[in-house]
Amino acid sequence: MGLIDKIQNSYFYTHWKVGKYTKRRGGCPDLDRRDSRYYERNYVDGVYLDSSERPPLSKSKSFMKRKSTQVVRSSETYNDM
Q: What confidence score (pLDDT) does residue 44 get?
A: 82
Per residue in 38-66, is it b (16+ CB within 10 Å) or e — as a string?
Answer: eeeeeebeeeebeeeeeeeeeeeeeeeee
> pLDDT tens digits for 25-81?
666 566 667 778 888 888 888 788 877 776 666 655 544 555 566 666 665 555 555
The model's pTM is: 0.28
Q: What confidence score (pLDDT) does residue 32 get?
A: 66
